[in-house]
Chains A and B, each alone.
Chain A
């Protein structure tokens, strides 16, 4: 390992003094490693010797070993450095006070971000000037991908190769956050306790399939979950390929109106909302509108979008709203397949689903994808959907992290449901959970208000 600065490219933004300051402070005050470990990576250090020292600090931190000049000295010697003396002396002289840590960390993070952008621009330029370049649309998509990865705060492409130390450090931090009861330590809660109980929240990067036969309430459940998430000020992006934005808006308002009752009666019925309201009803509805206005829900209601278009819009939205917490797509079969595809429908759908799962991973958010089940379900006596029902439409289940089926008995047997008092009873069947158990939970569907509510008896 060459400790001199000569091993670096000088035309890139860097601050070797700040690198030394950070290392000097961390070796002298190891307790401060806690404050930087979740945002400062070895790649933030340009000087390879500095980078290696930071890796050794992380290694010692993780093994709960003593972090000291002596330890670092011996580890460097063991790795073949002839004498780390001058390098370490430079670190002891690098800082005056602990207050320098935070500004220096910020400098290193900023400069690494700048280096990523420059690197992405260089790559894009090389791609664009290549005489054998791909077609323009593909080139634009690739350029967008590179810029997106470069402008992600977590380092995008640089994180493709993760060493176990980085992975376990993150696992350990997550463990601590769960132990301390930090609210977002679990996945994204959709505020249906039975669903959250099964999933412990939808995890970032996961693809969640919500599948059912038509009219089961897929869109309603999706919108209920979206609204619940947005009520916690978490931005949500909805792709509605079937209903237009106003239809969705009306559904959201209606489902909120369900909660207003007077003397056991709903103040505004669905019919009244869609026809004419009294002054009192209008006032209440206005209040609901006012409550809903600030919710950070964005809707794309353009029909016939391709996966590439969905990806481009989602990337742009994420760039403008880094706090994006959920993407919802209603629904898979309405996504336009690629024009030049000369393959079976199942293969095309499978590929679209895989690309959407990759999008969830790239944007680091859960993505809920509604899917319609074909009539095959109805030819069986037991009409509860099964995993095999997805297989006809490509290997959706293979790529999904969670598969939820929505099923209502009263859809098929309304008379029987009325007799048994199970009208509106909906089953959410968790047929697959990569990170959790399978099982069934119950909700009640209030069709008039397109609203799902918790059913007291939860576990079937």
Chain B
């Protein structure tokens, strides 16, 4: 449960950060919405699938958070 809580907290922080990046013009609206959808489907994806999806949605963000 504690891990779950941390994950939810991270999601909120992450989506908040992404929105700010969108406001700064670093992410497009399409990328932002794709990330929202990806976060909602997080439980259905393993780590590799998540990275792949993230890279597909936003190469820039994927590089920014260090995923290659």
Give A residues with C-beta under 8 Å from B.
28, 66, 68-71, 73-74, 77, 83-85, 88-89, 92-93, 96-97
Contacts and interface: CB of A to CB of B under 8 A. Distances in A.
B12 interface: yes
Contact of A69 (B1, B11, B19): B11
Contacts of B19: 73, 77
Contacts of A89: 9, 12-13
Nearest to A67: B40
Contacts of A69: 8, 11-12, 15, 39
25 contacts: A66-B40, A68-B39, A69-B8, A69-B12, A69-B15, A69-B39, A70-B11, A70-B15, A70-B39, A70-B40, A71-B40, A73-B12, A73-B19, A77-B19, A85-B12, A85-B16, A89-B9, A89-B12, A89-B13, A92-B5, A92-B8, A92-B9, A93-B5, A93-B9, A97-B1
Main SS of the interface on chain B?
helix
Given A69-B8, A92-B9, 10 more contacts: A66-B40, A68-B39, A69-B11, A70-B36, A73-B12, A77-B19, A85-B12, A85-B16, A89-B13, A93-B5
A92 B12 contact: yes
Interface in B1-55: 1, 4-5, 8-9, 11-13, 15-16, 19, 36, 39-40
Nearest to B35: A70
B12 A88 contact: yes
Contacts of A66: 40
Contacts of B15: 69-70, 73-74
Main SS of the interface on chain A?
helix
Give the 3 A-B CB pairs with smallest separation, nearest first.
A92-B8, A85-B16, A92-B9
B12 A74 contact: no
Contacts of A28: 4, 8
